[in-house]
Amino acid sequence: MTTENSICSVLGIKYPILQGGMAWVATAELAAAVSNAGGLGIIGAGHMPAEALKVEVLKAKQLTKKPFGVNVMLMSPHVKEVINLLLEEKVAVITTGAGNPGEYIPAFKAIGTKVIPVVASVALAKRLARLGVDALIAEGTESGGHVGELTTMCLLPQIVDAVDIPVIAAGGIADGRGMAAALALGAQAVQIGTRFVVSNECTAHEEYKKAIIKAKDRSAVMTGASTGHPVRVLENQLAREFMTMERNGATVEELDAFGAGKLKLAARDGEVRLGSVMAGQCSGMLNEIKPVAEIIEDLMTGLVNTIDRLKKIHF
Protein backbone atom coordinates (compact mmCIF):
# COMPACT_ATOMS: atom_id res chain seq x y z
CA MET A 1 0.00 0.00 0.00
CA THR A 2 1.47 3.36 -0.99
CA THR A 3 0.35 6.94 -0.80
CA GLU A 4 1.65 10.12 -2.37
CA ASN A 5 1.05 13.71 -1.31
CA SER A 6 3.15 16.79 -0.87
CA ILE A 7 4.07 16.16 2.77
CA CYS A 8 5.31 12.65 1.97
CA SER A 9 7.45 14.08 -0.81
CA VAL A 10 8.75 16.91 1.38
CA LEU A 11 9.72 14.56 4.23
CA GLY A 12 10.81 11.59 2.14
CA ILE A 13 8.38 9.15 3.78
CA LYS A 14 6.04 6.48 2.44
CA TYR A 15 2.99 7.09 4.60
CA PRO A 16 1.55 10.40 5.88
CA ILE A 17 2.15 9.46 9.50
CA LEU A 18 4.41 11.27 11.96
CA GLN A 19 5.09 9.97 15.45
CA GLY A 20 4.78 12.51 18.23
CA GLY A 21 8.02 13.69 19.84
CA MET A 22 7.12 12.82 23.43
CA ALA A 23 9.68 13.63 26.14
CA TRP A 24 10.98 10.58 28.07
CA VAL A 25 8.94 8.33 25.74
CA ALA A 26 9.99 9.00 22.14
CA THR A 27 13.52 7.59 22.15
CA ALA A 28 15.72 6.52 19.26
CA GLU A 29 14.26 3.01 19.34
CA LEU A 30 10.70 4.19 18.76
CA ALA A 31 11.65 6.85 16.23
CA ALA A 32 13.71 4.41 14.17
CA ALA A 33 10.93 1.80 14.22
CA VAL A 34 8.39 4.31 12.91
CA SER A 35 10.74 5.53 10.19
CA ASN A 36 11.59 1.96 9.15
CA ALA A 37 7.86 1.21 8.87
CA GLY A 38 7.30 4.10 6.44
CA GLY A 39 6.36 6.98 8.74
CA LEU A 40 8.47 9.72 10.26
CA GLY A 41 9.85 8.83 13.67
CA ILE A 42 10.66 11.70 16.01
CA ILE A 43 12.92 11.76 19.06
CA GLY A 44 11.54 13.85 21.93
CA ALA A 45 14.31 16.14 23.20
CA GLY A 46 12.30 17.62 26.08
CA HIS A 47 14.73 19.23 28.51
CA MET A 48 17.52 16.86 27.46
CA PRO A 49 21.05 18.31 27.42
CA ALA A 50 22.74 18.27 24.02
CA GLU A 51 25.17 15.50 25.03
CA ALA A 52 22.31 13.16 25.96
CA LEU A 53 20.38 14.02 22.80
CA LYS A 54 23.45 13.30 20.69
CA VAL A 55 23.47 9.74 22.03
CA GLU A 56 19.86 9.32 20.88
CA VAL A 57 20.49 10.87 17.45
CA LEU A 58 23.52 8.67 16.79
CA LYS A 59 21.60 5.60 17.97
CA ALA A 60 18.74 6.42 15.60
CA LYS A 61 21.19 6.75 12.73
CA GLN A 62 22.42 3.25 13.49
CA LEU A 63 18.89 1.83 13.68
CA THR A 64 17.48 3.38 10.51
CA LYS A 65 18.67 4.76 7.20
CA LYS A 66 15.34 6.51 6.68
CA PRO A 67 14.63 10.15 7.59
CA PHE A 68 13.77 10.87 11.22
CA GLY A 69 13.23 14.01 13.25
CA VAL A 70 13.72 15.58 16.66
CA ASN A 71 11.14 17.54 18.60
CA VAL A 72 12.70 20.62 20.22
CA MET A 73 11.10 22.26 23.24
CA LEU A 74 12.13 25.86 22.68
CA MET A 75 11.81 26.82 26.35
CA SER A 76 14.38 24.19 27.34
CA PRO A 77 17.39 25.66 29.16
CA HIS A 78 19.58 23.72 26.72
CA VAL A 79 17.90 24.88 23.52
CA LYS A 80 20.91 26.72 22.03
CA GLU A 81 23.18 23.70 22.46
CA VAL A 82 20.46 21.38 21.16
CA ILE A 83 19.97 23.49 18.03
CA ASN A 84 23.72 23.48 17.36
CA LEU A 85 23.80 19.70 17.72
CA LEU A 86 20.94 19.21 15.27
CA LEU A 87 22.67 21.47 12.77
CA GLU A 88 25.91 19.51 13.16
CA GLU A 89 24.16 16.17 12.77
CA LYS A 90 22.00 17.43 9.88
CA VAL A 91 18.82 15.90 11.29
CA ALA A 92 16.23 15.72 8.50
CA VAL A 93 13.28 17.26 10.35
CA ILE A 94 12.72 19.25 13.51
CA THR A 95 9.35 19.83 15.05
CA THR A 96 9.10 22.54 17.67
CA GLY A 97 6.89 23.49 20.58
CA ALA A 98 6.71 25.98 23.44
CA GLY A 99 8.15 28.93 21.55
CA ASN A 100 8.96 30.57 18.23
CA PRO A 101 11.65 28.89 16.07
CA GLY A 102 12.06 31.94 13.83
CA GLU A 103 15.66 32.75 14.69
CA TYR A 104 16.78 29.20 13.82
CA ILE A 105 14.94 28.79 10.50
CA PRO A 106 17.64 30.27 8.19
CA ALA A 107 20.34 27.96 9.55
CA PHE A 108 18.16 24.89 9.16
CA LYS A 109 17.04 25.90 5.68
CA ALA A 110 20.68 26.28 4.68
CA ILE A 111 21.30 22.57 5.32
CA GLY A 112 17.95 21.30 4.05
CA THR A 113 16.39 20.47 7.42
CA LYS A 114 12.60 20.83 7.44
CA VAL A 115 11.12 22.94 10.27
CA ILE A 116 7.60 22.04 11.40
CA PRO A 117 6.22 23.82 14.47
CA VAL A 118 3.33 22.54 16.56
CA VAL A 119 0.57 25.16 16.83
CA ALA A 120 -2.69 25.41 18.75
CA SER A 121 -4.13 28.62 17.27
CA VAL A 122 -4.71 30.26 13.91
CA ALA A 123 -2.81 33.42 14.88
CA LEU A 124 0.37 31.48 15.68
CA ALA A 125 -0.01 29.37 12.54
CA LYS A 126 -0.17 32.47 10.33
CA ARG A 127 2.79 34.09 12.08
CA LEU A 128 4.99 31.01 11.69
CA ALA A 129 3.92 30.45 8.08
CA ARG A 130 5.17 33.95 7.28
CA LEU A 131 8.56 33.02 8.74
CA GLY A 132 9.01 30.31 6.12
CA VAL A 133 8.43 27.06 8.02
CA ASP A 134 7.89 24.00 5.84
CA ALA A 135 4.65 22.76 7.39
CA LEU A 136 2.60 23.08 10.56
CA ILE A 137 1.23 20.56 13.06
CA ALA A 138 -2.25 21.64 14.16
CA GLU A 139 -2.62 20.00 17.57
CA GLY A 140 -6.00 19.80 19.24
CA THR A 141 -6.67 19.62 22.96
CA GLU A 142 -7.36 15.87 22.73
CA SER A 143 -3.60 15.25 22.69
CA GLY A 144 -1.56 14.00 25.60
CA GLY A 145 0.96 16.27 27.30
CA HIS A 146 0.91 20.04 26.81
CA VAL A 147 -2.28 21.11 25.07
CA GLY A 148 -4.21 24.11 23.82
CA GLU A 149 -7.93 24.85 24.09
CA LEU A 150 -9.42 24.05 20.67
CA THR A 151 -10.42 20.58 19.54
CA THR A 152 -8.74 19.05 16.52
CA MET A 153 -11.96 19.10 14.50
CA CYS A 154 -12.38 22.87 15.03
CA LEU A 155 -8.72 23.91 14.95
CA LEU A 156 -7.57 21.94 11.92
CA PRO A 157 -9.84 23.32 9.16
CA GLN A 158 -9.33 26.88 10.37
CA ILE A 159 -5.55 26.53 10.13
CA VAL A 160 -5.82 24.79 6.74
CA ASP A 161 -7.86 27.75 5.48
CA ALA A 162 -5.45 30.30 6.95
CA VAL A 163 -2.11 29.13 5.50
CA ASP A 164 -0.69 28.00 2.16
CA ILE A 165 1.68 25.33 3.47
CA PRO A 166 0.97 21.67 4.37
CA VAL A 167 -0.84 21.08 7.65
CA ILE A 168 -0.47 17.95 9.76
CA ALA A 169 -3.27 17.01 12.16
CA ALA A 170 -2.62 15.91 15.74
CA GLY A 171 -4.83 15.17 18.71
CA GLY A 172 -7.20 12.26 19.26
CA ILE A 173 -6.09 10.25 16.22
CA ALA A 174 -5.50 6.57 16.89
CA ASP A 175 -6.89 4.64 13.92
CA GLY A 176 -7.70 4.84 10.23
CA ARG A 177 -11.06 6.51 10.90
CA GLY A 178 -9.28 9.37 12.64
CA MET A 179 -6.83 9.64 9.76
CA ALA A 180 -9.68 9.82 7.27
CA ALA A 181 -11.38 12.54 9.29
CA ALA A 182 -8.17 14.56 9.43
CA LEU A 183 -7.59 14.26 5.69
CA ALA A 184 -11.21 15.23 5.03
CA LEU A 185 -10.64 18.40 7.06
CA GLY A 186 -7.67 19.35 4.89
CA ALA A 187 -4.67 17.81 6.62
CA GLN A 188 -2.03 16.19 4.44
CA ALA A 189 -0.75 13.94 7.23
CA VAL A 190 -1.32 13.07 10.87
CA GLN A 191 0.88 13.08 13.94
CA ILE A 192 0.15 10.29 16.41
CA GLY A 193 1.57 9.99 19.90
CA THR A 194 -0.40 7.89 22.37
CA ARG A 195 -0.97 5.00 19.94
CA PHE A 196 2.78 4.61 19.48
CA VAL A 197 3.43 4.63 23.22
CA VAL A 198 1.71 1.25 23.43
CA SER A 199 4.06 -0.36 20.92
CA ASN A 200 6.67 -3.03 21.48
CA GLU A 201 9.47 -0.72 20.42
CA CYS A 202 8.56 2.12 22.77
CA THR A 203 10.96 2.08 25.73
CA ALA A 204 8.49 3.60 28.19
CA HIS A 205 7.95 1.50 31.30
CA GLU A 206 5.50 -1.37 30.92
CA GLU A 207 3.36 0.04 33.74
CA TYR A 208 2.99 3.27 31.76
CA LYS A 209 1.79 1.28 28.76
CA LYS A 210 -0.58 -0.78 30.91
CA ALA A 211 -2.11 2.39 32.33
CA ILE A 212 -2.99 3.53 28.81
CA ILE A 213 -4.41 0.13 27.88
CA LYS A 214 -6.60 0.18 31.01
CA ALA A 215 -7.84 3.73 30.35
CA LYS A 216 -11.51 4.43 29.65
CA ASP A 217 -13.16 7.18 27.63
CA ARG A 218 -13.00 9.75 30.47
CA SER A 219 -9.67 8.71 31.98
CA ALA A 220 -7.64 11.52 30.39
CA VAL A 221 -8.02 14.79 32.28
CA MET A 222 -6.47 18.24 31.94
CA THR A 223 -4.38 19.70 34.73
CA GLY A 224 -2.50 22.97 35.00
CA ALA A 225 -5.02 25.31 33.39
CA SER A 226 -4.34 27.86 36.13
CA THR A 227 -0.60 27.86 35.33
CA GLY A 228 -1.10 28.79 31.68
CA HIS A 229 0.48 25.48 30.64
CA PRO A 230 -2.33 22.91 30.67
CA VAL A 231 -1.31 19.27 30.46
CA ARG A 232 -3.44 16.23 29.60
CA VAL A 233 -2.73 13.16 31.71
CA LEU A 234 -4.47 10.01 32.85
CA GLU A 235 -6.29 10.58 36.10
CA ASN A 236 -4.46 9.11 39.10
CA GLN A 237 -3.52 10.16 42.61
CA LEU A 238 -1.05 12.74 41.36
CA ALA A 239 -3.58 14.32 38.99
CA ARG A 240 -6.26 14.48 41.69
CA GLU A 241 -3.86 16.09 44.18
CA PHE A 242 -2.72 18.56 41.52
CA MET A 243 -6.29 19.55 40.66
CA THR A 244 -7.13 19.93 44.35
CA MET A 245 -4.16 22.27 44.77
CA GLU A 246 -5.41 24.30 41.79
CA ARG A 247 -8.91 24.58 43.23
CA ASN A 248 -7.44 25.69 46.55
CA GLY A 249 -5.52 28.53 44.91
CA ALA A 250 -1.97 27.16 44.86
CA THR A 251 0.53 29.46 43.14
CA VAL A 252 2.11 28.67 39.79
CA GLU A 253 5.42 28.16 41.57
CA GLU A 254 3.89 25.67 43.99
CA LEU A 255 2.21 23.75 41.19
CA ASP A 256 5.34 23.70 39.03
CA ALA A 257 7.38 22.40 41.96
CA PHE A 258 4.78 19.72 42.70
CA GLY A 259 4.78 18.50 39.09
CA ALA A 260 8.54 18.62 38.52
CA GLY A 261 10.06 15.29 37.55
CA LYS A 262 6.74 13.44 37.57
CA LEU A 263 6.75 12.50 33.87
CA LYS A 264 10.09 10.75 34.21
CA LEU A 265 8.81 9.05 37.36
CA ALA A 266 5.97 7.49 35.38
CA ALA A 267 7.54 6.93 31.96
CA ARG A 268 10.94 5.61 33.06
CA ASP A 269 10.39 4.33 36.62
CA GLY A 270 6.86 2.97 36.16
CA GLU A 271 5.30 4.87 39.07
CA VAL A 272 1.88 5.39 37.50
CA ARG A 273 0.06 6.33 40.72
CA LEU A 274 2.23 9.28 41.75
CA GLY A 275 3.80 10.00 38.35
CA SER A 276 2.46 12.00 35.41
CA VAL A 277 1.04 9.58 32.83
CA MET A 278 0.76 11.91 29.85
CA ALA A 279 -1.65 10.44 27.31
CA GLY A 280 -4.40 11.63 25.00
CA GLN A 281 -8.14 11.21 25.03
CA CYS A 282 -7.81 8.41 22.49
CA SER A 283 -6.38 6.19 25.27
CA GLY A 284 -9.80 4.61 25.76
CA MET A 285 -9.62 3.31 22.17
CA LEU A 286 -6.42 1.35 22.75
CA ASN A 287 -6.45 -2.20 24.04
CA GLU A 288 -3.25 -3.93 23.01
CA ILE A 289 0.50 -3.48 22.63
CA LYS A 290 1.73 -4.22 19.11
CA PRO A 291 4.84 -3.78 16.95
CA VAL A 292 5.11 -0.39 15.28
CA ALA A 293 4.96 -1.92 11.80
CA GLU A 294 1.60 -3.55 12.63
CA ILE A 295 0.25 -0.29 14.05
CA ILE A 296 1.10 1.58 10.86
CA GLU A 297 -0.34 -1.22 8.73
CA ASP A 298 -3.55 -1.08 10.78
CA LEU A 299 -3.71 2.70 10.36
CA MET A 300 -3.33 2.56 6.60
CA THR A 301 -5.71 -0.37 6.18
CA GLY A 302 -8.26 1.40 8.35
CA LEU A 303 -7.85 4.57 6.31
CA VAL A 304 -8.49 2.78 3.01
CA ASN A 305 -11.44 0.87 4.43
CA THR A 306 -12.99 4.07 5.78
CA ILE A 307 -12.64 5.83 2.45
CA ASP A 308 -14.14 2.83 0.65
CA ARG A 309 -17.07 2.81 3.08
CA LEU A 310 -17.69 6.53 2.54
CA LYS A 311 -17.75 6.01 -1.22
CA LYS A 312 -20.73 3.72 -0.77
CA ILE A 313 -22.82 6.36 0.97
CA HIS A 314 -25.39 7.90 -1.36
CA PHE A 315 -27.27 11.13 -0.70
* Angle between helical axes of 28-36 and 292-311 (0-180°, round to 10): 50
pLDDT, tens only, 11-26: 999 999 999 999 899 9
pLDDT band for 153, please (50, 70, 90 cuts). Answer: very high
Asked whether residue 3 carries a pLDDT value surpassing 80, the answer given is: no
pTM for the full predicted model: 0.91
pLDDT, tens only, 180-237: 999 999 999 999 999 999 999 999 999 999 999 999 999 999 998 888 888 999 999 9
What one-character DSSP code corresponds to residue 16?
S
Per mean pLDDT, which range of 99-103, 159-163, 165-169, 172-176 is the poorest?
99-103
pLDDT, tens only, 234-293: 999 999 999 999 999 999 888 988 988 999 999 999 999 999 999 999 999 999 999 999
Q: What is the pLDDT of residue 206?
A: 95
Tell me what percent of the chain is helix, strand and coil, each rounded to the nearest 5: 45, 15, 40
DSSP string, 264-302: HHHHTT--TTTS--B--GGGGG----B-HHHHHHHHHHH
pLDDT, tens only, 77-115: 888 999 999 999 999 999 998 888 888 999 999 999 999
Q: What is the pLDDT of residue 5?
A: 60
CA quadruple 213, 147, 254, 46: dihedral, nearest 10: 80
R_g over Cα of the chain: 18
Give CATH for domain 6-202.
3.20.20.70
Q: What is the pLDDT of residue 110?
A: 92
Domain limits, the chain: 6-202
Pair 71, 83: CB distance under 8 Å:
no
pLDDT band for 152, please (50, 70, 90 cuts). Answer: very high
Asked whether residue 2 carries a pLDDT value surpassing 60, the answer given is: no
First to last CA, the chain: 29
pLDDT band for 1, please (50, 70, 90 cuts). Answer: very low
Asked whether residue 4 carries a pLDDT value surpassing 60, the answer given is: no
Gap between the Cα atoms of 34 and 6, Å rounded: 19
Gap between the Cα atoms of 310 and 287, Å rounded: 26
